[in-house]
Amino acid sequence: MIKQFFITVVLALLVTSAFAQESIFDRSEVVSPEIHQDGSVTFRLYSPEAEAVQVTGDFLNSQDGARPMAIMQKDGKGLWSYTTDALESELYSYNLMVDGVKTIDPSHAHTIRDVANIFNYFIIEGDDYTELYKVHQVPHGAVSYVWYPSPIVEKDRRMAVYTPPGYESDDKDYPVFYLLHGMGGDEEAWLGLGRTAQIMDNLIAQGKAEPMIVVMTNGNVAQEAAAGMGSEGMVQPTFDHPNTMDGLFEESFTDVMAYVESHYRVKDEKSSRAIAGLSMGGFHAANISRHYPNTFDYIGLFSPALHVDLSQFPDALAYQNADQKLRQQMQDGYELYWIAIGEKDFDVLLKGVEDYTAKMDDMGMGRSYEAKRTEGGHTWVNWRRYLVDFTQRLFK
The reply to whether omega before 33 is within 30° of 0 (cis) is: yes
Domain locations along the chain: 27-126, 136-391
pLDDT tens per residue, range 121-139: 999 998 999 999 999 999 9
Rounded CA separation 51/112 (Å):
27
Whether the predicted pLDDT of 62 surpasses 90: no
- pLDDT score for 362: 92
If you average pLDDT over residues 53-70, what whole number do you get? 82
List residues bridging with 276 in a β-sheet: 179, 300
Q: Which fold has domain 27-126?
A: Immunoglobulin-like (2.60.40)
Q: Which among 199, 150, 153 has a CA at the least distance from the CA of 179?
A: 199
pLDDT tens per residue, range 225-237: 888 887 888 887 7
Task: Tell me the percentage of the chain whose pLDDT exceeds 70.
Answer: 91
- pLDDT score for 225: 80
Q: Tell me the C-alpha to C-alpha distance, in Å, between residue 283 and each of 139, 174, 246, 356.
A: 34, 26, 11, 11
If you average pLDDT over residues 297-314, what whole number do you get? 95
Whether the predicted pLDDT of 207 surpasses 50: yes
Reported as a pLDDT band with limits 50, 70 and 90, residue 7 is: very low
- pLDDT score for 101: 95
Task: Tell me the percentage of the chain whose pLDDT exceeds 90.
Answer: 80
pLDDT tens per residue, range 63-103: 555 678 999 999 999 999 999 999 999 999 999 999 999 99
Continuous H helices in the chain = 2-26, 128-132, 196-205, 248-263, 280-291, 322-332, 347-362, 380-391
Least confident of 7-11, 181-185, 208-212: 7-11
Check: CB of residue 381 under 8 Å from CB of residue 58: yes
Check: CB of residue 394 under 8 Å from CB of residue 275: no
Query: Could you say which DSSP state residue 174 is in?
Result: B
Strand 53-57 versus strand 69-71 pairing type: antiparallel
Q: Which among 297, 257, 300 has a CA at the least distance from the CA of 276?
A: 300
Reported as a pLDDT band with limits 50, 70 and 90, residue 304 is: very high
φ and ψ at residue 356, rounded to 5 degrees: -70, -45
Rounded CA separation 81/47 (Å):
11
- pLDDT score for 28: 56
pLDDT tens per residue, range 102-115: 999 999 999 988 88
Rounded CA separation 359/267 (Å):
32
Q: Which among 294, 173, 275, 265 has a CA at the least distance from the CA of 216?
A: 275
Q: Which listed CATH number (1.10.3720.10, 3.40.50.2300, 3.60.10.10, 3.40.50.1820) goes with 136-391?
A: 3.40.50.1820
Rounded CA separation 396/392 (Å):
8
pLDDT tens per residue, range 365-377: 888 899 999 999 9
If you average pLDDT over residues 17-37, what whole number do you get? 65
Rounded CA separation 122/155 (Å):
38
